[in-house]
Amino acid sequence: MANKRIIFVEPSFYGVNFVKEAKALGCEAVVIVSSKDNPALYGYEGWYDDLLVADIRDAESIYAAIKNSPYDGQFQALIPATDYASAVTAEVGERLGIHGTSAEAALNARNKDRARQVFAQQHVPSAQFAVVSELEEAIAAATRIGYPVVLKPTNAASSQGVYFVDNEEVLRHAFAELSQFKTTYMDFKVREEYLIEEYLTGPEFSVEIFLDQGEVAFAELTEKHTSDLPYFVETLHVFPSSIYQEQREEIIAVARQAVLALGIHNGPAHVELKYTETGAKIIEVNGRPGGDNITSDLIIHAYGINIFRETIRKYLSEPLDIQKQKVHASAIGYVLADRKGTLHSIDGLEHLNNHQQVKRYHIGAEAGTTVDIARSSDDRLGYIIVEADTPIAAREQVQELLSRIEIRYAESL
């Protein structure tokens, strides 16, 4: 793959791994960013070959940046490296005649209301829902579906603006708050159409799936643990799942059905679902590798499979190599505050240093900052990643390490 040039749109979070893997494969990496400061901000300074600046929220701006660059007609792949830019990148790709996910499929995956409508039309097991713009519509929809329900934006992520609603009074308050949520990451506009959804009960999973011409090249379950209601923050992931292995094939089949229904036939997807008393039901489909260190760490530690690398190969029409190199397990557990306060210190980290099963850990919160019970993924304070022989051992190990950590608050000293 040497000498092949790839253009990445706004590498950030999970997408930074795309740039690093492209360089590891010997490719030239050109990045289109909204600010020249972003490589340093997101941690890939020194990994790219050239940088173009554009409004990554606007397809015409991205298109113009490419057409006015030395790379017009001189690159082999155009890859969105943030979920938020997936739809505009697909639109530009179609306009340039570059292989990739269709614009319609990317729009379906990026907008949860469109996805729900597709699922209903194509009989994909999913939650009851309604798309609403006004409070009275929301109240009517919640009454029809039946409390409890979930209120959420149609195009946000990381549990931002997601509310558990068990009565009309809570709905009125949540709707007023959500109506003030105008922009999300990278200044993408939050649409003013919202979803009211049936609250699904049952254990939660994600399916990390990779399709090749509509067929499953790779699929596995991630076991997900979330915070107590009324919040939906993911607190722990185990890969592969330590539970519901008898239902594994059924869950993967529903995930594939959902991905294909949206129009995604090639490449990775991260499908979130719950296994309810009537079977697997889709929460949402993300047309990208799984974030939260699932793809960058857990899959690699457990199976030795690099989905970022295989995605690049797929975009370049190169042969895939998605074979397990080992059969282990991995888990990530998040450090969370148990109340609001000023952080003094996070103690107990010495247990992580030189621990045989700890692959890495990270603490992002600094002393003196205000912390609180996590309402979205942004509120998590850090994480620990472990590798073990079995999923149960990985889960128990990370839980044990988390139990040793003590969060100390300044005002209680």
pLDDT, one tens digit for every residue, the chain (413 residues): 668 999 999 999 999 999 999 999 999 999 999 999 999 999 999 999 999 999 999 999 999 999 999 999 999 999 999 988 999 999 999 999 998 899 999 999 999 999 999 999 999 999 999 999 999 999 999 999 999 999 999 887 766 889 999 999 999 999 999 999 888 766 788 888 999 999 999 999 999 999 999 999 999 999 999 999 999 999 999 999 999 999 999 999 999 999 999 999 999 999 999 999 999 999 999 999 999 999 999 999 999 999 999 999 999 999 999 999 999 999 999 999 999 999 999 999 998 999 999 999 999 999 999 999 999 898 999 999 999 999 999 999 999 999 999 999 997 65
Contacts of 103 (CB under 8 A, 6+ apart): 87, 90, 91, 93, 94
Containing H/E element for 149?
A: strand 149-153
Q: Are strands 149-153 and 194-198 parallel, antiparallel or unpaired?
A: antiparallel
292, HSE (Cβ side, Cα atoms, 13 Å)? 30
Q: Mind listing the domains of the chain with CATH numbers? A: 5-100 (3.40.50.20), 128-198 (3.30.1490.20), 204-284+291-297 (3.30.470.20), 329-412 (3.30.470.20)
- Name the one residue in this structure whose structure tokens are 């210190």: 345
- Name the one residue in this structure whose structure tokens are 């042969």: 319
